[in-house]
């Protein structure tokens, strides 16, 4: 009971930190828009909402999974898991928002833009947004991997992590370069597949390299996150052992 309570408290604290970071990021965005009298990062609120959606879904799936396994719960888990797969790329997609750091700035002759404070606000927004996206993606995948581990084993869980990260990386590419949304895969699957094939065979295509890069970034974040969780659990277990002596 104590271990579960500590684990729950740690997860709640992690989510609270993400909420604070997200709120702060959006607040700075509003300040920057007022300061520059522009609509800079006007798209960010919607993108961040979509990025949080996979975590909302994985939390709901975990809750239903931990409840009584009724037929309704099982159907809800299947439905929500499908939705989770579709929306997962939206989290890691925030990493690509870094490009907007320089979208609104252009050097004019000898004049530089990085001596303006509003550029540094913009860079901070893009950087923090990227971190938030990777953390949301990592934590959501971690939650789902725990469920897969309980159903099967740690080896299947590891394969699951690799598979969904690959799908997520492809989804980020589709969203950034082909400009499709998560729900378009249901309405326009043939066109999306055609776009992917066209990009694959196009001369100078970056599809493979970009997907590989996003996969490596997500995998690195997941491994660091998992290592931190294991280390925290080991420290807690050692404290319990020492306190029981």
The predicted-structure confidence for 100-123, as pLDDT tens digits, reads as follows 887 777 666 667 777 788 888 888
- What global pTM score does this model have? 0.89
Pick from 119-123, 129-133, 203-207, 238-242: least confident: 238-242
Q: Which domain holds residue 88?
A: 2-244
- The string over 158-181, giving b where at least 16 C-beta atoms fall within 10 Å of a residue's C-beta and e elsewhere, is eebbeebbbbbbbbbbbbbebebe
What is the model's pLDDT at position 127?
93
Q: Is 179 left (phi over 0), alpha (psi -120 to 50) or beta?
A: left
Distance CA 30, CA 25 (A): 9
Which residues share a beta bridge with 111? 108
What's the total number of domains in the chain?
A: 1
Contact predicate 172/89, CB 8 Å: yes
């Amino acid at each position: 009971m104590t271990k579960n309570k500590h684990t729950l408290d740690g997860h709640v604290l992690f989510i609270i930190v993400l909420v604070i970071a997200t709120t702060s990021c959006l607040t700075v965005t509003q300040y920057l828009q007022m300061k520059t009298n522009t609509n800079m990062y006007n798209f960010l609120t919607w993108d961040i909402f979509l990025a949080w959606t996979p975590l909302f879904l994985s939390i709901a799936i975990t809750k239903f999974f931990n409840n009584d396994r009724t037929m309704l719960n099982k159907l809800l888990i299947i439905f929500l898991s499908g939705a989770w797969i579709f929306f997962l790329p939206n989290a890691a997609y925030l990493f690509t928002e870094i490009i907007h750091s320089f979208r609104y700035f252009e050097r004019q002759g000898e004049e530089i833009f990085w001596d303006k404070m509003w550029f540094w606000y913009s860079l901070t927004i893009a950087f923090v947004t990227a971190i938030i996206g990777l953390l949301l993606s990592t934590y959501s995948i971690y939650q789902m991997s725990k469920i897969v581990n309980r159903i099967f084993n740690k080896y299947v869980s590891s394969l699951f992590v690799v598979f969904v990260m690959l799908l997520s990386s492809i989804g980020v590419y589709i969203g950034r370069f082909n400009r499709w949304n998560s729900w378009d895969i249901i309405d326009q699957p043939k066109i999306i597949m055609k776009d992917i094939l066209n990009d694959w065979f196009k001369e100078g295509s970056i599809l493979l390299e970009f997907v590989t890069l996003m996969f490596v970034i997500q995998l690195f974040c997941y491994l660091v996150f998992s290592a931190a969780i294991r280390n925290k659990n080991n420290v807690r277990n050692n404290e319990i052992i020492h306190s029981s002596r």
